[in-house]
Amino acid sequence: MKKNTSNLPACKTILPRIILLIIACLLFWLARPNIFFDDGCSFLAWFSYFPVLYLIKKSSLGEALIYGALYGVIAYGLTGYWLQSFHPLGLIILCTGYMIICAFFFLVLKWADIISIKNGWLLQFFCICAYEYLKTLGFFGISYGVTAYTQWKFINLIQITSLTGVFGLNMIVIFPSAFLFSLIYKKQEKHRLLNTVDSTRKSHISAYVKKEQALAVTSLKLTYFCGAVWSFLFISSIIYGYLSIHQNNYDKYVTVAAIQNNESPWKNGIEEYSKNVKNLIQLTEEAQALSNDIDFIIWPETAVAPSIVYNYDYGTDVRRFMLVSQLLNFFDENNAVFITGNAHQVEFKSAEKIQYNSALVFESGKNVHPPEPGIYSKIKLVPFTESFPMKHIFPLLYVKLLNGNTHMWEKGDEYSVFDYRGLKFSTPICFEDTFSTICRKMVLNGSRCFFNLSNDSWSNSIPCQRQHLAMAVFRCVENGVPAVRSTASGVTCIINTNGVIEKAAPEFCQAYIIGKVPLISGNKLTLFTRSGDAAGIAAVVISAFILLIQSIIVIIKIIRNK
């Protein structure tokens, strides 16, 4: 008696898909710096979308929506688990946001599979590249999770970003997942068709089967061709990287010291502020004792909490005024240029006070007394923790955020470039150096070095700090400029123009590093600096165009069949 398999439930079909989902999430997580591997297992990234594409192939549109939502919560929740150290609401917002984003993303991937059955994998490849570019844009945009950043230790390969930017490299790293999926699936399809032929008398082979066989062969040839093109581009990128690394020779350097004070961002009050300034001064003096020719001394983001200019000019709090005066006297007695993070406050005629997350630049004998520093105010503010433009639409959420140790800042409006002692530099603050567009605009304005001021100590997480560092490395390679990062804790370091970390301080301790930064002269700009994220934009245009054309064709066929 024949078994009834029509009611085979779902466990036989759902379980393999759940396994694929779990594998996809684990590959996403482990490829990046994580609790098991400080630098991440970068080789996993080359295949991280393979289980996603197989999952999409085996799912319906509705199922793809559900799996996408689960993928967004699990993959991004594991990778950004450290947000709960800031506030559990931060992790909830991240997971909720990517639950929605990835649900729509998987829906698009499934639609691409439906409308382009034979070569949907190629359209899906461009859709993935487009998604990873689009997710970095707008208010909610973050660069965490972009696949190419996993390759930050592959120095020869990442040099190609000086031509294409990180999203050009993204195409190279994502393609193997799509290629492997296409190769395996099409070979399975070819085998199925051959079995159909073997079980049917040749004289009775339908025209449809013959057509399917021809299409399968042609489609497999296209897969091999695309694989050959990728191999050429990959090898060319490695060769280009090897050759370009040996081209940087500089004659003049300046000496820099980056201070890591390892202070908690949660402690407030004048006593805590005074203690922080005392520690910063002590660490600076220790660095100067080792090297008396330091040109630049860099302190972390909001290293000095009271507004220096406001408290000196308008402040009524005597203790804050005395602290600021002590600090300015220290700056004026030193021969170095000081760059410090500060909660810079401005008061308008209406008595309204606004604050900026700023970097202030002081040089002895020039702009210390009275304080008239060069100022850069952070432009790209962290969503929900530094900026919430929808506060009038969601007032209850805004109040909840304010009560959760967040600090809302005013947005800066100028990509400032400072020129001291022959060095033209900019000061991206905190996660601004995770965005290629921001640092590129600084270089276009004349900057030839980045002094990044960060505070990642709140995360209590080395993976968080390493994920941030991985992205900062690319800003140097893309624009051909060095960077010095001064952080409250991790990762304080010096990165050269090739993305090599020359010196780094250990995380979660008071420390400093001293090193040299080249003076890069001339107006030579990398191709990326000139052209921007052309690769990311191209992925969006190509995928949108093909989706539109294929969708129209499918709709027309449906109408004709009616």
**Residues annotated catalytic, as ranges:** 301, 378, 430
Secondary structure of residue 280 in the 3-state scheme: helix
30 contacts 45 by C-beta, under 8 angstroms: no
What is the Cβ-side half-sphere exposure of residue 314, based on CA atoms within 13 angstroms? 11
Q: Report residue 444 CA to chain centroid gap.
A: 20
* Number of Cβ within a 10 Å radius of residue 134: 17
477 contacts 499 by C-beta, under 8 angstroms: yes
- For the chain, the residue count is 562
Closest CA to 131 of 147, 117, 115: 147
As a whole number of Å, the CA-based R_g of the chain is 27
Q: Report residue 547 CA to chain centroid gap.
A: 27
Closest CA to 312 of 327, 325, 303, 300: 325
- In 291-406, alpha helices (H): 308-313, 318-332, 395-402
- The residue written with tokens 């020129």 in the block is 419
449: left (phi over 0), alpha (psi -120 to 50) or beta: beta
Closest CA to 441 of 422, 420, 424, 426: 426
Instruction: Please report, as a single letter, which amino acid is at residue 85.
Output: S
Measured between alpha carbons, how far is 81 from 463 in angstroms, rounded to an integer? 10
DSSP state of 118: T
**With helix as H, strand as E and coil as C, how does 515-546 read?**
EEEECCCCCCCCHHHHHCCHHHHHHHHHHHHH
- In 207-269, alpha helices (H): 207-245
